[in-house]
Amino acid sequence: MDVNLIFQIAAIGITVSAINQLLRHSGREEQAMLTTIAGLVVVLLMVLSEVKNLFDTIKTLFGL
C-alpha cells in the first residue's frame, strides 16, 4: 500500500472538517452534514481497492 494514500486521506479529513466548521458557523447544518458524508464517500472510494486486496489476501491465506 502506498503511504501517500494515508496522507491523502488525512488531508481530506482536515479540509472536510474545516469546511464542516465553516458551514456550521454560518448556520448551514444540513450542507455541513452533506459535506461530511461526501468526504466519507470519497475516502471510502479511495480505500475500496485496498479493502478488496485485504479480502483477497484473507481468502488466499485461509484457502477460501
Partner 1 sequence: MPVKIVGMVAIIASCTMLGFELSSHLIKRVHILETWQQVLWRMSGLVRYTKTPLYEIYEIFALEKGEVGAFFSSLLKCGGENTLTSWKKNMGEMKWLSKSDVEILINLAKGLGKGDTDTQVKDIEFANAGIKSALNQAKEISSRDAKMYRSISFFAGVTVAILLV
Q: Could you list the residues that contact partner 1 (CB under 8 A)? A: 8, 11-12, 15-16, 18-19, 22-23, 25-27, 39, 42
Report the amino acid identity of residue 10: A
Determine the length of the chain.
Answer: 64
- In angstroms, give the least distance from the CB of 14 to partner 1: 9
- In angstroms, give the least distance from the CB of 34 to partner 1: 13
- In angstroms, give the least distance from the CB of 5 to partner 1: 11
* 46 and 11 Cβ atoms separated by less than 8 Å: no
Q: Which is nearer to partner 1, 40 or 58 (CB)?
A: 40
**Residue 37 is placed in which grid cell?**
458524508
DSSP secondary structure code for residue 63 in this structure: T
